Copies of this chain bind each other. A is one copy, B any other.
Amino acid sequence: MTTLSFREKIKGVGGDASYEAKARVLREQLEAKIPASLRLPPTILEDPPLDVTRIPETCCLLTPEELAITELDATTVCQKIAAGELTAVETVAAFGRRAAIAHQLTACLVDFFLDEGIKQAQQLDEYFRKEGKVIGPLHGLPISVKSQFPIKGTIGCGGFLVKMETSTEDCDMISILRSLGAVFYVKTDQPQSLMHLESQSVYGRVLNPHNTNLTPGGSSGGESALVAMKGSCMGLGGDGGGSIRCPAAHCGIYGIRPSSRTTPTAGFLFYQNGSDGTFASLGPMCRSARDMWLFLDAVLGSNPANRDPDVLPVPLRMPDLAQKKLRVGIMMHDGVVIPHPPTVRALQLAKAKLEASSEVEVVDYIPYDHNRGYSIIRELYFEDGGATIRRLLKEGGEDMHPLTEWVISPPYVKDHDAAQVWKLREKRDIYRREYSDHWWSQNVDVVLCPPFQGTASRHDTAKYWGYTAIWNLLDYPGAVFPTGLFADPSIDIYQEPLRPMSAADERNISLYDAAVFTGAPVSLQTISRRFNDALVLAAQDVIERIIKS
């Protein structure tokens, strides 16, 4: 492995001369938006440490008050603003200033519009002064937003340079969040095609703040890096194959992919509109478990189905776990790829702690033909054989990223006619039904499993999505949480002689090098049946508490 300089690491996707000219303009425009007063000194930027998470506190660009505000989670922010202990203006200013610093260290942003955010916050503060109450449950909460979700007047894109736009209106989710009192100040980066567990675009390559040799994950990798840097306490991500859970897990934050179509998706930028074999869903990425609830409860409470006829008005009801003992199935691996040692260590710890607890019952969860399910969703993603992607790259003179090439390549991906589309979707439905029967046969309430086949991976190597995408195919909601453990080369060593379970497993073993992953957060994922989103959150709270006790 060659060692890249920091400048080389954050380099964006290239292209032909016309592409490069446009890309330069975009990058310069973004660069110009970062205030001079928040620029890190070249001494830091020339050769930052692999772990950049502490730099905001030590760089002397933020006041103690700003540092204190950016330590808060979203729930506390909302509470303090509602109590008059904090203004919306000082809140967004603090997060915005920290975001500018985070961006210089991780290349996480595509747009920065703190002035707009402050204006919005002023209006909210004014309302609060006049009315003596908040405008909604998210009054004054700064929310960072992934590029693909349009905020009026800001930069966004659907995965390619040619899809770049300055949005002329808010998408539904933004409009709802705005009406609930949220404040917007930055847009964050995502990968070419939106279909990598990695985040490199025309703007640059986003780095994992815990270890910049690693990816923050994708596709909501700008969000995960920013939230981990505390440049945001609440990020809006989207997940069609792991794009919330993977980056959240890689950066040691929280995130949930809600059951699809329960949160509003209308208006988001994509390049295969109408491709409805599987749906992405939007959800929060944040720094406390309760913030996921805050977000979902507020958004679903706004009755998004009234606005969007595609939204499913399935109520979010917190289950009463006192009624019966929670049954947790532990899935050590998916039968296809064994996770890397740090993740296995976390699972073993979790198992031991949960088994020792009288609060839950633990069983071994047997995965049901995940390889088949993974094949189906890989095929569903690009039913046109990737033709649309090829066309958009060509139109923009944009180089094809190696992970884009991989994701649209045979054998999974091929062209389909209408009857073949139906056949594929029937396969999906059959698998879902068989899986549902299997789930009941396992007699579990939730499954605790890896969110990925290891911690954050090295750049350009994430080629197995099975640990997240299988749940997208099934549309089982899933959340991730940090175990509090970090990859440690002194103990995270393969213990037994390795017999690969599959070609993907063989590749995964070859990717492991204990030293490379040093400092990467180790996270786990909680899953339940479709529409049991509240159960996922409630159960994960219990599991996390027991594991960390």
Contact = CB atoms under 8 A, between A and B. Distances in A.
Given A422-B273, A433-B266, A312 B309 contact: no
A387 B419 contact: yes
Contacts of A424: 274
Copy count, this protein chain: 2
Contacts of A310: 429, 432-433
Contacts of A421: 274, 383, 418, 421
A388 B312 contact: no
A531 B531 CA distance: 16
A51 to B, nearest CB: 42
A19 interface: no
Interface in A420-438: 420-429, 432-433, 435-436
Interface string A375-415: 00000000111011000000000000000000000000001
Contacts of A531: 305, 312-313
A306 B440 CA distance: 9
Given A314-B312, A417-B418, A418-B421, A273 B426 contact: yes
A22 interface: no
A415 to B, nearest CB: 7
Nearest to A309: B436
A80 interface: no
A415 B418 CA distance: 7
A333 interface: no
Contacts of A418: 383-385, 415-418, 420-421
Interface in A127-173: none
A175 interface: no
A272 interface: yes
Contacts of A85: none
A513 interface: no
A121 B530 CA distance: 36
Contacts of A425: 274-276
Contacts of A388: 419
B384 A417 contact: yes
Contacts of A315: 315
A234 interface: no
A308 interface: yes
A387 B383 CA distance: 20
A111 interface: no
Given A276-B276, A314-B314, A384-B417, A309 B433 contact: yes
Contacts of A416: 417-418
Interface in A306-331: 306-310, 312-315
B432 A309 contact: yes
Nearest to A276: B425
A433 to B, nearest CB: 7
22 contacts: A273-B429, A274-B428, A274-B429, A276-B276, A276-B425, A305-B530, A306-B440, A307-B436, A308-B433, A309-B433, A309-B475, A310-B429, A310-B432, A310-B433, A312-B312, A312-B531, A383-B418, A383-B422, A385-B418, A417-B417, A418-B421, A421-B421
Interface of A: 266, 272-277, 305-310, 312-315, 383-385, 387-388, 415-429, 432-433, 435-436, 440, 474-475, 529-531
